[in-house]
Amino acid sequence: MAEEVILLDFWASMFGMRTRIALAEKRIKYDYREEDLWNKSSLLLEMNPVHKKIPVLIHNGKPVCESLIQIEYIDEIWPDKNSLLPSDPYKRAHAKFWADFIDKKVNVTARKIWAKIGEEEEASKELIEILKTLENELGDKTYFGDETFGYVDIALIGFSSWFEVYDKYGNVNIESECPNLIAWAKRCLERESVAKALPKSEKITTFISELRKKLGFE
Amino acid sequence: MAERSEEVKLLGMWASPFSRRIEIALTIKGVSYEFSEQDITNKSALLLQLNPVHKMIPVLVHHVKPISESLVILEYIDDTWQNNPILPQDPYEKAMARFWAKFIDEQICVAAMNVVGKTGEEKDAAVEATRDLLKFLEKELVGKDFFGGKNLGFVDIAATLIAFWLMRTEEIVGVKVVPVEIFPEIHRWVKNLLANDVIKKCIPPEDEHLRYIKDRMVKLNIKPA
């Protein structure tokens, strides 16, 4: 049976970027469908009735929701190329812990920098702390997975395309606060899967500027 | 005598649903472990050393190495001891199990906690919000003994939070969030849980548990609705 892989996504989503990267690492051909988040398609609402959010991976008609779950699914369905998760149980648990940390902490805090008024200073301080914790975990390693690009790298890298937004509205400079993390991000961007999945930072900054105008913040 | 490096130790707390999940999983697998009761109001140096990022229980220590976050620990247990699998083998079914467990922790748990201490219209809205989420789980149970099918699985273990914390404490909190008229499948599932030997062994004793929760509510100055 021919494989049918569809990804319902939104170009600027750091979560959608994760799934794009995972599919590219595995060389899987898929049908990318851009969703208008202000006018969600009936397919999206049908495939993700619980959260109504992108990304949704539809494999042979069956939906898999939540980006980290999608990465694990992709790794399990197509195990031959480029393992995304370690095979050792402890290393796997370690990777899942850090991906969970990223999910629990980064976006919740980062959103407050640009999507709200009045919380930018506190949120940007908190974000720097979170990024420093991640930088500390990275240490001297090439990637979070050590020599191999994998799950934790994929979980975090999409946020790097948003650093310009956080710098701008949070009045911080992530590069000077977390130089090793920026160096890591540049190494990741050398991978074709990442370079193709991440939009240019300027495009995201412009998008957020326009969104903030619509929301009446500017 | 077991090698020191084989030692399995669980830093937990007897009344915590997240800690109890780990005990259930280890019991399903028949793994012996040392339980170390932690005082979460006065965290031990050991806990802070083993979980410096979140400083929370449960923490599983195996071969001297710590693992934190209950769902991560459950998957580690399933990866390490292959008997009596907790997660489905099929990748799609596995993805669905992970999805529902995440839904329970990120959505239901938060919504249920939001009900506590609220009154009037705010309380009604919080209850409705929780019920809207529970309806998805209600649907999942149709035609099944457990979320895992014939046997207890990953989602059942995660969902004990609903059966033995949310539902047990309804009288104390003063709100029947999960009435049998709206959630017959969930009630049937709870009966199935209560008939299961592992569950019976691993959940906190009811009277003691309810006393503990009442005490906590008094200390936190929360009044029943």
CATH number at residue A115: 1.20.1050.10
**Residue A94 shares a structural domain with residue A46:** no
Residue B72: which of A66, A77, A93 has the nearest Cβ? Answer: A93
Decide if A139 is inside a domain: yes
Answer yes or no: do A150 and A176 share one domain.
yes
In this structure, what CATH number is given to the domain that contains residue A57? Answer: 3.40.30.10
Do A168 and A95 sit in the same domain of this protein?
A: yes
pLDDT for position B223: 79
A77: closest chain B residue by CA: B91
pLDDT surpasses 60 at B108: yes
A119 shares a domain with A209: yes
Element (H, E) at B187: helix B184-194
* Residues B125-137: b if buried by 16+ CB within 10 A, e if exposed: ebbebbbebbeeb
What gap in Å lies between CA A102 and CA A107, rounded to an integer? 8
* Interface ipTM: 0.96
CA distance A23 to chain B (A): 16
Shared domain for A29 and A108, answered yes or no, is no
Of A166, A178, A133, whose CA–CA distance to A152 is shortest? A133
Chain A contact for B81 (CB, 8 A cutoff): no
Mean pLDDT estimate for chain A: 96
pLDDT at A211: 95
Edge-first strand order for the sheet with A62-65 is: A31-34, A5-9, A56-59, A62-65
In-domain check, residue A133: yes
Q: What is the mean pLDDT of residues A50-60?
A: 98
Residue B84: both structure tokens together: 């009596």
Which residue in A179, A88, A94, A92 sits closest to A137, CA to CA?
A94
- The pLDDT of residue B5 is 47
Structure tokens at B105: 């922790």
Q: Is residue A12 part of a domain?
A: yes
How far apart are alpha carbons B187 and B179 in whole angstroms?
A: 8
- The single-letter code of the amino acid at A145 is G
Together in a domain, A99 and A120 = yes
Which of A50, A64, A90 lies at the smallest CB-CB distance from B95?
Answer: A64
Distance CA A14, CA A30 (A): 18
Length of chain A counted residue by residue: 218
Same domain membership, residue A64 and residue A26: yes
Residue B2: pLDDT band with limits 50, 70, 90: very low
CB-closest option in B53, B75, B98 to A93:
B75
Tell whether A68 is covered by a domain.
yes
Indicate the pLDDT class of residue B224, thresholds 50, 70 and 90.
confident
| AA identity, residue B200 | K
pLDDT at B138 over 70: yes
Chain A and chain B share a number of CB contacts under 8 A equal to 58
Tokens of A145: 């997975």
pLDDT of A129 above 90: yes
Distances (CA, A) of B44 to A176, B25, B68: 36, 24, 15
Count structural domains, chain A. 2
Q: Which residues are within 8 A (CB) of B124 and not within 5 positions of it... i.e. 6 or more apart? A: none
Asked whether the beta carbons of A9 and A37 are under 8 A apart, the reply is: no
Q: Assess whether pLDDT exceeds 90 at residue A18.
A: yes
pLDDT one-digit tens code per residue, A152-198: 999 999 999 999 999 999 999 999 999 999 999 999 999 999 999 99
Q: Indicate whether A2 pLDDT > 80.
A: no
- d(CA B119, nearest CA chain A) in Å: 27
User: Does residue A124 lie within any of the structural domains?
Assistant: yes
pLDDT of residue B1: 46
Question: Nearest-CA neighbor of A135 among A186, A180, A87?
Answer: A180
**Same domain membership, residue A202 and residue A104:** yes
Q: Which residues lie below 8 Å from residue B186, measured CB to CB, with a gap of 6+?
A: B134, B137, B138, B141, B162, B178
Rounded Cα–Cα distance for residues B216 and B40 (Å)? 13
Kindly state whether residue A96 falls inside one of the protein's structural domains.
Answer: yes
- Residue type at position B204: P
Share of chain B above pLDDT 90, in %: 88
Q: What is the pLDDT of residue B128?
A: 97
**pLDDT tens digit sequence for A59-97:** 999 999 999 999 999 999 999 989 999 999 999 999 999
Residue A209 CB coordination number (10 Å) = 15
Rounded to whole angstroms, the Cα distance separating B72 from A197 reads 27
* Cα A164 to Cα A206: distance, rounded to the nearest angstrom: 10
Could you tell me the pLDDT band of residue B220, with boundaries at 50, 70 and 90?
confident
CB contact under 8 Å between B92 and A59, yes or no, is yes
> Which residue of B53, B75, B91 is in closest CB contact with A96?
B75
Q: Which domain range does residue A24 map to?
A: 5-77
> Domain check: are A114 and A181 in the same one?
yes
pLDDT in tens, A141-164: 999 998 999 999 999 999 999 999
Q: Which residues pair with B11 in a beta bridge?
A: B36, B59
- Find, among A30, B67, A139, the residue nearest to B58 by Cα: B67
| The pTM of the whole model exceeds 0.90 | yes
CB contact under 8 A, B76 and A64: no
Q: Residue A3: pLDDT band by 50, 70, 90 thresholds?
A: confident
Place of tokens 């310009």: A164
Scanning A22-51 for CB atoms below 8 A from B yields: 49-50
SS (H, E, C) chain A: CCCCEEEEECCCCHHHHHHHHHHHHCCCCCEEEECCCCCCCHHHHHHCCCCCCCCEEEECCEEEECHHHHHHHHHHHCCCCCCCCCCCHHHHHHHHHHHHHHHHHHHHHHHHHHCCCCCHHHHHHHHHHHHHHHHHHHCCCCECCECCCCHHHHHHHHHHHHHHHHHHHHCCCHHHHCHHHHHHHHHHHCCHHHHHHCCCHHHHHHHHHHHHHHCCCC
Domain end: A50, A77, A104, which one?
Answer: A77
Q: Contact, A68 vs A12, CB < 8 A?
A: no
Min Cα distance A213 → chain B (Å) is: 31
Per DSSP (E only), the strands in B38-165 are 59-62, 65-68
Q: Rounded to an integer, what distance in angstroms lies between the CA atom of residue A169 and that of residue A151?
A: 29
CA atoms within 13 A on the CB side of B162: 32
- pLDDT surpasses 60 at B190: yes
Residue B21: in which H helix or E strand, if any? helix B17-28
Tell me whether residue A82 is in a domain: no
Q: Is residue A73 part of a domain?
A: yes
- Mean per-residue pLDDT, B173-198: 96
Which pLDDT score is estimated for B132? 98
Q: Please tell me the predicted confidence (pLDDT) of residue B222.
A: 84
Decide if A69 touches B, using CB distance below 8 A.
yes
Taking alpha carbons only, the member of B56, B2, B58, B53 closest to residue B32 is B2
CB-CB under 8 Å, A100 with B80: no
Contacts of B73 in chain A (CB under 8 A): 93
